[in-house]
């Protein structure tokens, strides 16, 4: 039995900007803030958290961390899956209505699913997909 992941924490440059994006633009419910970390309860037992990147580096104990250049790729992605192509399209329509940057329009992809990407204001990438194999 694999362990449960309790937190996904993104190190961000502008905590208020990112909070407004997830809470107000996407409309996600923010649970609380504790010591500069903003928490969003997602799946059962899983919290998505926003934390200043320099503070996160300090918490990990990375000495002398220099903030990454704006726009540099974090080499990770997060995904939200829907159970139909229609729901994926509806979510992209919602994103556009809210002015969210679409990174890749949803399309049928080589592995047999239907997938696109949006990005948050600091270029964190979210895949929105229908995966018939899940």
Binding site for its own copies (CB under 8 A): 1-12, 28-29, 34-35, 40-46, 48, 53, 56-57, 59-62, 65, 68, 72-81, 103-104, 110-111, 117, 125, 127, 129, 131, 133-134
In angstroms, give the least distance from the CB of 99 to its own copies. Answer: 19
- Residue closer to its own copies by CB (options 46, 93) is 46
Whether 104 contacts 57, CB under 8 Å: no
Q: What are the residues whose beta carbons fall under 8 Å from the beta carbon of 33, sequence distance 6 or more?
A: 39
Q: Which is nearer to its own copies, 100 or 129 (CB)?
A: 129
27 — alpha (psi -120 to 50), left (phi > 0) or beta? Answer: left
CB of 6 to its own copies, least distance (A): 4
Among residues 125, 127, 123, 124, which one has the least CA distance to residue 92?
A: 127
Least Å from the CB of residue 124 to its own copies = 8
Distance (Å, whole) CA 88 – CA 81: 8
Taking the complex as a whole, how short is the minimal distance between the CB of residue 73 and its own copies, in angstroms?
6
């Amino acid at each position: 039995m694999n362990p449960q992941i309790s937190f996904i924490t993104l190190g961000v440059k502008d905590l208020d900007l990112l909070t407004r994006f997830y809470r107000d633009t996407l409309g996600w419910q923010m649970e609380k803030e504790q010591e500069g970390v903003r928490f969003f309860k997602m799946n059962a037992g899983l919290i998505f958290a926003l934390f200043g990147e320099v503070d996160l580096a300090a918490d990990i104990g990375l000495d002398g961390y220099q903030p990454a250049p704006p726009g540099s790729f974090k080499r990770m992605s997060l995904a939200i899956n829907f159970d139909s192509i229609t729901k994926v399209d509806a979510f992209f329509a919602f994103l556009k209505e809210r002015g969210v940057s679409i990174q890749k329009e949803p399309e049928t992809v080589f592995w047999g699913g239907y997938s696109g990407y949006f990005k948050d204001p600091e270029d964190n990438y979210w895949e929105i997909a229908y995966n018939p194999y899940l």
